[in-house]
Amino acid sequence: MRLRHFIVLCLLVVALTAIPYGAITKPPSEFDFDISVSPLELRIKEGEKIMCTVTVTLTHGSAQPVSLTTSTPPKNAHISSSLSPSSGIPTFSSTLTVIGISDVTEPVIESLIVTGNGEGKIHSITVMVTISSHCMG
Protein backbone atom coordinates (compact mmCIF):
# COMPACT_ATOMS: atom_id res chain seq x y z
CA MET A 1 0.00 0.00 0.00
CA ARG A 2 2.83 2.37 0.83
CA LEU A 3 4.47 1.66 -2.50
CA ARG A 4 1.26 2.57 -4.32
CA HIS A 5 0.98 5.89 -2.46
CA PHE A 6 4.62 6.59 -3.18
CA ILE A 7 4.14 5.97 -6.91
CA VAL A 8 1.02 8.17 -7.07
CA LEU A 9 2.84 10.93 -5.19
CA CYS A 10 5.83 10.69 -7.56
CA LEU A 11 3.58 10.87 -10.61
CA LEU A 12 1.79 13.90 -9.17
CA VAL A 13 5.09 15.71 -8.50
CA VAL A 14 6.35 14.95 -12.01
CA ALA A 15 3.08 16.15 -13.56
CA LEU A 16 3.04 19.41 -11.59
CA THR A 17 6.69 20.26 -12.22
CA ALA A 18 6.39 19.55 -15.96
CA ILE A 19 3.86 22.38 -16.45
CA PRO A 20 5.50 25.80 -16.18
CA TYR A 21 3.68 28.39 -14.10
CA GLY A 22 1.20 30.32 -16.24
CA ALA A 23 1.35 27.86 -19.15
CA ILE A 24 -2.27 26.95 -18.68
CA THR A 25 -3.50 30.52 -19.10
CA LYS A 26 -4.08 31.86 -22.62
CA PRO A 27 -1.32 34.26 -23.74
CA PRO A 28 -2.44 37.81 -24.52
CA SER A 29 -3.08 38.50 -28.20
CA GLU A 30 -0.54 40.63 -30.01
CA PHE A 31 -1.28 44.37 -30.39
CA ASP A 32 -2.35 45.57 -33.82
CA PHE A 33 -4.31 48.43 -35.32
CA ASP A 34 -5.80 49.65 -38.59
CA ILE A 35 -5.83 53.11 -40.22
CA SER A 36 -8.62 54.61 -42.31
CA VAL A 37 -9.05 58.07 -43.85
CA SER A 38 -12.29 59.73 -44.88
CA PRO A 39 -12.45 60.93 -47.57
CA LEU A 40 -9.64 59.11 -49.41
CA GLU A 41 -9.67 61.49 -52.40
CA LEU A 42 -9.31 65.27 -52.09
CA ARG A 43 -9.53 68.20 -54.55
CA ILE A 44 -7.67 71.38 -53.66
CA LYS A 45 -6.40 74.67 -55.13
CA GLU A 46 -3.49 76.88 -54.08
CA GLY A 47 -4.20 78.53 -50.74
CA GLU A 48 -7.13 76.25 -49.94
CA LYS A 49 -7.25 74.16 -46.81
CA ILE A 50 -9.13 70.87 -46.60
CA MET A 51 -9.59 68.70 -43.53
CA CYS A 52 -10.41 65.03 -43.31
CA THR A 53 -10.53 62.43 -40.56
CA VAL A 54 -7.92 59.76 -39.87
CA THR A 55 -9.20 56.97 -37.63
CA VAL A 56 -6.86 54.56 -35.87
CA THR A 57 -8.77 51.48 -34.72
CA LEU A 58 -7.57 48.82 -32.28
CA THR A 59 -7.88 45.41 -33.99
CA HIS A 60 -6.03 43.09 -31.57
CA GLY A 61 -4.52 43.02 -28.10
CA SER A 62 -4.21 45.75 -25.50
CA ALA A 63 -4.18 49.33 -26.73
CA GLN A 64 -0.69 50.84 -27.14
CA PRO A 65 0.33 54.35 -28.26
CA VAL A 66 0.40 54.95 -32.03
CA SER A 67 2.17 57.91 -33.64
CA LEU A 68 0.98 59.29 -36.99
CA THR A 69 3.04 60.97 -39.72
CA THR A 70 2.38 62.19 -43.24
CA SER A 71 4.69 62.16 -46.23
CA THR A 72 4.63 62.94 -49.92
CA PRO A 73 7.15 61.85 -52.52
CA PRO A 74 9.96 64.48 -52.83
CA LYS A 75 8.85 65.59 -56.29
CA ASN A 76 5.42 66.56 -54.94
CA ALA A 77 5.75 70.12 -53.73
CA HIS A 78 2.19 71.31 -54.32
CA ILE A 79 0.73 70.45 -50.88
CA SER A 80 1.62 70.52 -47.21
CA SER A 81 -0.07 68.51 -44.48
CA SER A 82 -0.37 68.17 -40.72
CA LEU A 83 -2.11 65.90 -38.21
CA SER A 84 -3.77 66.88 -34.96
CA PRO A 85 -3.30 65.05 -32.69
CA SER A 86 -0.27 63.26 -34.14
CA SER A 87 -0.50 60.38 -31.66
CA GLY A 88 -2.97 58.59 -29.45
CA ILE A 89 -4.13 55.30 -28.03
CA PRO A 90 -6.50 53.37 -30.34
CA THR A 91 -9.26 53.73 -31.01
CA PHE A 92 -8.81 57.48 -31.74
CA SER A 93 -9.33 60.06 -34.49
CA SER A 94 -7.01 62.71 -35.85
CA THR A 95 -7.68 65.64 -38.17
CA LEU A 96 -5.58 65.63 -41.34
CA THR A 97 -5.19 69.16 -42.73
CA VAL A 98 -4.02 69.53 -46.34
CA ILE A 99 -3.07 72.93 -47.79
CA GLY A 100 -2.45 73.72 -51.45
CA ILE A 101 0.87 75.58 -51.44
CA SER A 102 1.55 76.16 -55.13
CA ASP A 103 -0.51 76.90 -58.19
CA VAL A 104 -0.45 74.57 -61.19
CA THR A 105 -1.18 75.17 -64.87
CA GLU A 106 -2.95 71.83 -65.26
CA PRO A 107 -4.38 69.37 -62.71
CA VAL A 108 -1.82 67.34 -60.78
CA ILE A 109 -2.55 64.23 -58.72
CA GLU A 110 -0.30 63.64 -55.72
CA SER A 111 -0.05 60.87 -53.16
CA LEU A 112 -0.18 61.76 -49.49
CA ILE A 113 0.82 58.83 -47.28
CA VAL A 114 -0.44 58.62 -43.70
CA THR A 115 1.60 56.20 -41.58
CA GLY A 116 0.89 54.86 -38.11
CA ASN A 117 3.64 53.35 -35.96
CA GLY A 118 3.07 51.62 -32.63
CA GLU A 119 4.75 48.75 -30.77
CA GLY A 120 6.69 47.72 -33.87
CA LYS A 121 3.59 47.65 -36.07
CA ILE A 122 3.56 50.01 -39.06
CA HIS A 123 0.52 50.61 -41.26
CA SER A 124 0.06 53.15 -44.06
CA ILE A 125 -2.76 54.43 -46.21
CA THR A 126 -2.57 56.64 -49.29
CA VAL A 127 -4.77 59.68 -49.85
CA MET A 128 -5.00 60.91 -53.44
CA VAL A 129 -4.94 64.72 -53.73
CA THR A 130 -5.86 66.48 -56.97
CA ILE A 131 -4.42 70.00 -57.18
CA SER A 132 -5.97 72.35 -59.74
CA SER A 133 -5.44 75.96 -60.74
CA HIS A 134 -7.71 78.79 -59.63
CA CYS A 135 -8.29 79.45 -63.34
CA MET A 136 -9.63 75.92 -63.88
CA GLY A 137 -12.71 76.49 -61.76
pLDDT digits (tens, 9 = 90+) for 13-61: 545 555 555 555 556 679 999 999 999 999 999 889 999 999 999 999 9
- pTM > 0.75: yes or no: yes
Contacts of 122 (CB under 8 A, 6+ apart): 115, 116
State pLDDT tens for residues 99-116. Answer: 998 878 889 999 999 999
pLDDT at 77: 76
The share of the chain scoring above pLDDT 90, in percent, equals 62
Task: Give the per-residue pLDDT at 102.
Answer: 84
Ordered by where they begin, the domains of the chain are: 32-136 (2.60.40.10)
Q: Which residues, including other chains, have CB under 8 Å from residue 133's CB and lie 6 or more apart?
A: 45, 46, 103, 104, 105, 106, 107
